[in-house]
Amino acid sequence: MKVTATSSTMVITLILILTSFAGCSGLSNVNPNAKLTIDREEINAGESVNFDARSSTTPDPSIIEEYRWDFDDGSTKITKQGIASHQFTTPGYYSIEVTVVNDQGGTDIAYISLFVNSPPILSFVVPTVIRTGDSVMLDASDSSDPEGGVVGFTWDFDITVDTNNDGDPANDADSINSITNELVLSESGNRTGTITVTDDKGASNTSTWTVSVISRTFRVVWEQQHVEFEWSGYLEQGQSYQITDNPHPSSRMISVNSTLILARDILPIMWPEDNFTMAISVPSAGWNIFSTTSQDNITQNSSATIVRDNMNSYPETGYTVTADSSDELLYTLLNEPGQRFGQGDWIWTITADDCHPDIPIDEIDPDQGNDWQLVVDFFILVPRISEIGI
């Protein structure tokens, strides 16, 4: 084929025209390059996640004008910056997309996937009413993870007490078993705690529970008893012997009768009777008293007596009363104001303060002291407590 000068000129002109049309009609590549990253690929329902499309680019001299976000849950957003944050409340898989738009009208789309984990399903059983002193059976074993993961358990036995000392009384791990009877409630009233179930991805579900603790009912009978103590020994002139004893701590004292008896001398006609002093001290009551032996009849032993009646009053008997425990009730009965006389230690002191010099035999006093015997009889009331209405 022969090409003339005229035909060459026409070809060049046609190329220039087509090139000009291509620029005006957008046939050249002016679209941006969209890129998208995410700070977490898995989150729990209710959490937020951050998206970043700032690494997207666009050909010079065009600039990126906006970012159009579609979060695949019905929510959309347009931003001038290439970052966005969004909260996902419904569990499931999501395909998030961002459309990058430049000032030439060019666009590009980037996609990224996200998994939103559902919280575990919390199911638990707690009794509504128990008696004081009973254990509470707490059961959350029917709880589960919808995704089939492993769940853990955290029981807080009392939301008002901060057992782990972290400043939050409602997050203690008093038990981590799915079923527990470790909680024993000894005081009446309401007890409120929490149960938290957590799956293997950290999602959790928490609920509160309340148990009503009711008192027990007891019958009280005051039983009358005589309790006798006896001590003996030997003392010489000027010596003392002290006895410390708590006669009957689980009772109410009514009366006491203390008698100190001295053994008779070998020859009472020749040698005068000895005299001892018996002293009683009850520190808790501030009661102190003493008595000196005497001989009212020469045919009888020398003796001293201390008697006290009506130390406390007689209570009602055979009645019913409510209390959290029998031990608590016993403490209340024995420590009723105005009825505690005689509680604690009793101190008896026996002193040989007047052992008369006897007629010496071979210049030796044949009887420099004396044998003594102390007999104490307490009349007491003992509370007998029995539970009824079980």
Q: Where are the alpha helices (DSSP H) in the chain?
A: 5-25, 326-334
For the chain, the average pLDDT equals 89
Q: Is 165 helix (H, G, I), strand (E, B) or coil?
A: coil
pLDDT digits (tens, 9 = 90+) for 198-213: 999 999 999 999 999 9
Rounded-to-integer distance, Cα 211 and Cα 213, Å = 6
What's the mean pLDDT in 124-132? Answer: 96
Tell me which of 82-86, 104-108, 301-305 is least confident.
Answer: 301-305
Checking if the pLDDT of 50 tops 90, the result is yes
- Strand partners for 67: 79, 100
pLDDT band at 295 (very low <50, low <70, confident <90, very high): confident
Q: Residue 213 in contact with residue 328, Cβ under 8 Å?
A: no
What's the mean pLDDT in 209-235? Answer: 96
Rounded-to-integer distance, Cα 140 and Cα 175, Å = 12
Which domains are present in the chain?
Answer: 11-117 (2.60.40.10), 129-214 (2.60.40.10), 219-388 (2.60.120.380)
What's the mean pLDDT in 170-186? Answer: 94
Could you tell me what percent of the chain has a pLDDT over 70?
87
- Strand partners for 361: 364
Bin 338: left if φ > 0, else alpha if -120 < ψ < 50, else beta: left
DSSP secondary structure letter of residue 285 = T
Residue 359 makes CB contacts below 8 A (sequence gap 6+) with 270, 271
Rounded-to-integer distance, Cα 168 and Cα 185, Å = 22
Q: What's the gap between Cα 340 and its chain centre?
A: 33
Tell me which of 1-5, 141-145, 220-224, 280-284 is least confident.
Answer: 1-5
What's the mean pLDDT in 328-338? Answer: 95
pLDDT digits (tens, 9 = 90+) for 356-380: 665 555 555 566 788 999 999 999 9
Our CA dihedral for 25, 27, 31, 33, rounded to 10 degrees, sits at 180
Checking if the pLDDT of 24 tops 80, the result is no
pLDDT band at 270 (very low <50, low <70, confident <90, very high): low
Q: Residue 233 in contact with residue 187, Cβ under 8 Å?
A: no
Checking if the pLDDT of 7 tops 50, the result is no
CB atoms within 10 A of CB 127: 13
Check residues 203 and 17 and name the one with the higher pLDDT: 203
Q: Residue 52 in contact with residue 83, Cβ under 8 Å?
A: yes
Nearest Cα to Cα of residue 101 among 25, 33, 28: 33
Q: Is 378 helix (H, G, I), strand (E, B) or coil?
A: strand
User: Which residue pairs, CB below 8 angstroms and at least 24 apart, start in 54-59?
Assistant: 54/81, 54/82, 54/83, 55/82, 56/32, 56/82, 56/98, 56/100, 56/108, 56/110, 57/32, 57/33, 58/30, 58/31, 58/32, 58/33, 58/100, 58/102, 58/106, 59/29, 59/30, 59/31, 59/32
Residue 226 makes CB contacts below 8 A (sequence gap 6+) with 377, 378, 379, 380
Predicted confidence at residue 10, as pLDDT, reads: 45
Predicted confidence at residue 181, as pLDDT, reads: 95
Phi, psi of 380 (to 5 degrees): -130, 165
Rounded-to-integer distance, Cα 17 and Cα 22, Å = 9
Predicted confidence at residue 183, as pLDDT, reads: 96
Checking if the pLDDT of 301 tops 50, the result is yes
Q: How far apart are the first and last CA of the chain?
A: 122
Checking if the pLDDT of 170 tops 90, the result is no
pLDDT band at 230 (very low <50, low <70, confident <90, very high): very high
Predicted confidence at residue 364, as pLDDT, reads: 58
pTM of the entire predicted model: 0.68
Predicted confidence at residue 23, as pLDDT, reads: 35
Q: What's the gap between Cα 382 and its chain centre?
A: 35
Check residues 269 and 345 and name the one with the higher pLDDT: 345
Nearest Cα to Cα of residue 67 among 110, 101, 107, 117: 101
Per DSSP bridges, beta strands 92-102 and 83-87 are unpaired
Most confident of 11-25, 27-41, 352-366: 27-41
Nearest Cα to Cα of residue 212 among 154, 155, 156, 132: 132
Predicted confidence at residue 273, as pLDDT, reads: 75
What's the mean pLDDT in 170-179? Answer: 94
Predicted confidence at residue 6, as pLDDT, reads: 43
- Sign of dihedral through CA atoms 318, 321, 327, 332? negative
Checking if the pLDDT of 154 tops 50, the result is yes
Checking if the pLDDT of 165 tops 80, the result is yes
Q: Listing from the earlier edge strand, what are the strands of the sheet with 48-52?
A: 37-38, 48-52, 83-87
> Residue for token digits 């070809």?
11
Q: Residue 357 in contact with residue 238, Cβ under 8 Å?
A: no
Could you tell me what percent of the chain has a pLDDT over 90?
79
Predicted confidence at residue 9, as pLDDT, reads: 44
Predicted confidence at residue 268, as pLDDT, reads: 55
